[in-house]
Amino acid sequence: MANTLKSVIALMVTGLLACGSAVSALAQQSPDDGQARGGTPLDSLAVHGNANGEETAPKDSRARSPVWALEGDLAGKLQMMTTRYEDTFAEIGTQRSLGYLELVKANPEVDPWLPGDGTRITLPRKYVLPDSRRDGIVINLAEYRLYYFRDGGVQVFPVGVGTEENPSPLTDAEVTMGLESPAWYPPASIRAEYEASGEYLPRMIPPGPENPLGSHALILSEDGYLIHGTNKGFGVGMQVSHGCFRMYNDDISRFVNEVSKGTPVQVIHQPVKVGMRNGQLWLEVHRAREEYPEEEKERLWEQVAEALEAYTQENEKLEIQRRVVEQVIEQADGIPRMIGERVTHLASRDTEAASDSQASERPGAAPGASGSGSPQRWF
């Protein structure tokens, strides 16, 4: 176990990267030559080929991430799976386009490295949509997810984002180009770090297994930033990069063919999300890491209080169950739960009990999520 964890940490450290130089190199290309120093612009490709030079049809990203119908401010559904003896959360995430951390938070009683044979785990695919324009790409740094609004619905992908030392920017940008097989041009600051530690880092790393940009990339109008693949898949869905947005190669290789030049890209930070569906009020709260310090919990309490105060002022006749709100904040596991509903008359005891039983759709919810008693107003 110790050796495994050491290997994982080594992979994360090795996978840290800065993307600015990859974009600056692309800026030097001739607009008429059809080739970029960082790779091949995908809008110039009529067909795609495999390693044998055979033409292949572009892959569809819906094979890994379905397009969920919008249900008011919610989308998706919680799913379950049964693990095999050899499974780990890292492998399950890679195979099913889910982040390691979101699986850990959704399954707090399960060992992520040895879940065991026959263990039932939750796949967190139910979402309160971010408070943003529902157009193009929305990246919520607080939950390490990318939302792509398309075909009247939404796809959701895990992404690796910048660390606290090298944060991803909050921005309103757009896609300027898609690339296949991008090269990486490490900036001088990164090369200096390697030199100080006695290691050599070349000025250019060509496409291949040693390239931290992975197989494909989308260049953004926010100078120096990309959405790209990776050669270290474990960091997807965590804070691991120097600011760029990291996807699984199996996701970006499909996704890059479906996103047009000019697609808007909003980058936001919303650890607390509130939304309505069919008169029901839902709350989703995300802690930043597996650990959950008290100061972060206090901060999330304040953000939830502010969000609910604003929401109740804009929406009349909302009854909110404080005990469910407390449970959501105590866990901060990214699982949406129903915390109240819009009422038009005094609820009967039967109605109250039914409302309580719907308070959480999460399998194995903690005690306190349901029970008898009247719903409590937030104020």
In order of 38, 156, 203, 224, the CA distances from 183 in angstroms are: 5, 27, 10, 14
Rg, the chain, Cα only: 22
Q: 345 an active-site residue?
A: no
DSSP 265-322: EEEE--SEEEEEETTEEEEEEB-SSSS--HHHHHHHHHHHHHHHHHHHHHSSSEEE-H
Task: Say whether 110 sits in a helix, a strand or coil.
Answer: coil
Question: What tokens does 190 get?
Answer: 């990164």
Buried b (16+ CB within 10 A) or exposed e, 263-298: bebbbbebbbbbbbbeebbbbbbbbbeeeeeeeeee
Of the candidates 314, 271, 334, 9, the residue with the CA atom closest to the CA atom of residue 140:
271
Angle at 229 between CA 90 and CA 188, to 5 degrees: 115
Residues 19, 216, 228, 242: which is the catalytic one? Answer: 228
Q: Is 74 left (phi over 0), alpha (psi -120 to 50) or beta?
A: beta
Which amino acid, residue 184?
Answer: W
Among the listed residues 19, 216, 242, 244, the single catalytic one is: 244
Residues serving a catalytic function are 228, 244
